[in-house]
Amino acid sequence: MLYFAIRYVKEEEEAKEIVQEAFINLWEKRESINPEREVKSYLSASVRNRCLNYLRDNKRFDGKLLSLGGLLPIPSNDDHNQIEFRELSHQIQYAIDELPEKCREIFRLNRFEQMKYQQIADHLRISVKTVETQMSKALAHLRSRVKQT
């Protein structure tokens, strides 16, 4: 889990703290966690979300990059990288436009309006599980459509 967190926050001490908080949270919520769900998947999701929250709260990201799920590399000042960055941006926008209407709406509310899953569910009068499912589908589609370099 530590190496997983370091990949996001790039700082070992912060990563250690995030992982420790995830394990503490797991212990505190042990009675309410679905026993059929693997602990590793629960911890991975918890660590990932805590890392993203850390990045958001400490403003250590380019907002557009994080909002797209980290699909784009950070551009440098040279022209070649700027062209690649623009090309990837177009690929991502095209992939977003390909999403089914409801899936695209949920994705945009989460990634561009920074609405939490519960807020989206309330706003659209759907279940949180539906939001989670649609976000998973949207991100899987984006990953498959955007060429990784």
Q: pLDDT of the chain along its 149 residues, tens only?
A: 888 888 888 888 889 999 999 888 888 888 877 777 777 877 888 888 888 888 877 755 445 444 445 544 444 455 556 677 677 777 888 888 899 999 999 998 988 888 899 999 999 999 999 999 999 999 888 888 875 43
Domain identity same for 73 and 134: yes
Task: Please give the residue range of the domain that contains residue 13.
Answer: 2-60
Domain final residue pick, 26, 43, 60: 60
Domain identity same for 85 and 121: yes
Domain identity same for 44 and 85: no
Report the SS3 class of residue 113: coil
| Domains in the chain, number | 2
Domain identity same for 137 and 71: yes
Domain identity same for 36 and 89: no
CA distances to 15, 46, 49, 65, 139 from 19, rounded to whole Å, are 6, 9, 11, 23, 24
Task: Please state, in angstroms and rounded to a whole number, the distance separating the CA atoms of residues 42 and 94.
Answer: 32
Model-level pTM?
0.47
Domain identity same for 45 and 88: no
